[in-house]
Amino acid sequence: MTYVGQSASAAQQEEAAPATFKDVVAAYVGLTKPRVIELLLLTTVPVMFFAARGIPPLGLVVATVIGGTFSAGSASVFNCVYDRDIDEQMRRTRRRALPRHIVSPRSALVFGFVLGILSTVILAVWVNPLSALLSVGANAFYVFGYTMLLKRRTTQNIVWGGLAGCFPALIGWTAVTGALSWVPVVLFMVVFFWTPPHTWALALRYREDYANVDVPMLPVVAPAREVGRQIVLYSWVMVATSLLLWPVAGTGLFYPIAAAVLGAGFLVEAHRMWGRTKGTESLTAIQPMRLFHSSNLYLSLLFVAVALDPLLTR
C-alpha cells in the first residue's frame, strides 16, 4: 500500500525489507498498546494505596501490576486483530504490526490468548479470585462489547465501550480488600465520564480517518459545535463525580482540594475548546489535541491525589 507523501518505490522497499528480531519484538509489544496500559495502571495502583490507607504490600502491587498489564495487553491484541482491516486505512493506526504484516493474525491471536491466560492465573493465585474475575470481565467486554459490537455500529460506542477501561479502579480496590464497595464505584464512574471527552477530542482530530472506514464516532456524525457541547456536559458530570469521593470515602482535605483545582482546570479547557468550535470546523482553530493531552494530565494527577490523600492525612 502506498501512503500519501510516500513514493511507490519507498513503500515497496519498506514492505520488502525483512523484519529484524528487534522489529518483531517491538511489533508484539506494540500490539499490547503500552500507552493505554500505562493509563490503566495509573488508575489501579493509586486505588491500592487508597484502599490500604497507606502503602500496600509490595508483592501484592507487583502481582496486580503484572496481571493487569497482561490482561490489558491481551484485550488490546484482540482489538488489533479484529480491527486490522480498518487500521490499515487509518493514518493513526496504519503503522501497527498487523497492517505492516510484521506479525500474522494467527500469531497475534496466540499471543493474546497467552497473555490473557497468564493474567488470569497471576491474579487468581497471587492476588485473589475476585480481582481475576473482574479482569476477565473487563477483557471480555472490551473485545466483544466494544470492539465487535459497538465500535462500528453506534455513536455511543465509546460511551458504553469505555466501561472496560473503568474496571482497573475496581481491581485495584479488590486486590487489597478482597471485596467491592461504593468507594471504587465512585472512581469507576469518574473514569466512565472522563472517557468520552478524552476520546472524542482525539476522534475530532482524526475524524476523517474514522469517516473513511465508516466508524461512527460522534465527531464523524455531528458538527464540532455539538461535540464540544457534549464534551462540556460530560466534563461537568465527571468533576462532580470526582468530588463525591470526599463524603463517600471520608477522605482528608487534600483530595477534595486537589480534585476541585484539577476539575476547574479541566472545565476551563473544555469550555475553551467548545468556544473555539463556534462558526468553524477547522481543526487548526479548534485544537482538540490540547484537550486530549489535558485529559491525560487531569486523570493522572487526580489519581495521584487519590494515592497521596491517605499518606498525608494519617
Domain that holds residue 250: 181-314
Whether 128 is in a domain gets the answer yes
When the pLDDT of each residue in the chain is averaged and rounded to a whole number, the result is: 92
One domain, residues 172 and 194: no
Write out the three cell numbers for 99: 497492517
One domain, residues 259 and 205: yes
Whether 84 is in a domain gets the answer yes
- Over its length of 314 residues, how does the chain's per-residue pLDDT go in tens digits? 333 444 333 434 444 467 788 889 999 999 999 988 888 899 999 999 999 999 999 999 999 999 999 999 999 999 999 999 999 999 889 889 999 999 999 999 999 999 999 999 999 999 999 999 999 999 999 999 999 999 999 999 999 999 999 999 999 999 999 999 999 999 999 999 999 999 999 999 999 999 999 999 999 999 999 999 999 999 999 999 999 999 999 999 999 999 999 999 999 999 999 999 999 999 999 999 999 999 999 999 999 999 999 999 86
One domain, residues 223 and 161: no
Distance from first CA to last CA of the chain, Å, rounded? 59
Whether 148 is in a domain gets the answer yes
- Side-chain-facing half-sphere of 86: CA atoms under 13 Å: 17
**Domain edge (last residue) among 132, 151, 178:** 178
pLDDT, tens digit, 9 for 90 and up, residues 126-168 = 999 999 999 999 999 999 999 999 999 999 999 999 999 999 9
One domain, residues 149 and 285: no
Whether 39 is in a domain gets the answer yes
The C-alpha atoms of residue 8 and residue 10 are separated, in whole angstroms, by: 5
The whole-model pTM stands at: 0.92
How many domains does the chain divide into? 2
Helix, strand or coil, per DSSP, at residue 35:
helix
Residue matched to cell numbers 493513526: 92
Burial class (CB in 10 A: 0-12, 13-18, 19+), 4: exposed
Q: Tell me how far CA of residue 248 lies from CA of 132, 146, 170, 244, 310, in angstroms.
A: 26, 30, 15, 6, 14
One domain, residues 198 and 289: yes
One domain, residues 122 and 265: no
Q: What is the DSSP string of 48-63?
A: HHHHHTSPPPHHHHHH
The CATH number that applies at residue 66 is 1.10.357.140
123 CB-near residues (< 8 Å, 6+ apart): 63, 64, 67, 68, 71, 131, 132, 135, 171
Write out the three cell numbers for 48: 491500592
One domain, residues 199 and 165: no
One domain, residues 170 and 192: no
Nearest to 303 by CA among 151, 154, 164, 169: 169
One domain, residues 207 and 163: no
One domain, residues 174 and 188: no
Whether 257 is in a domain gets the answer yes
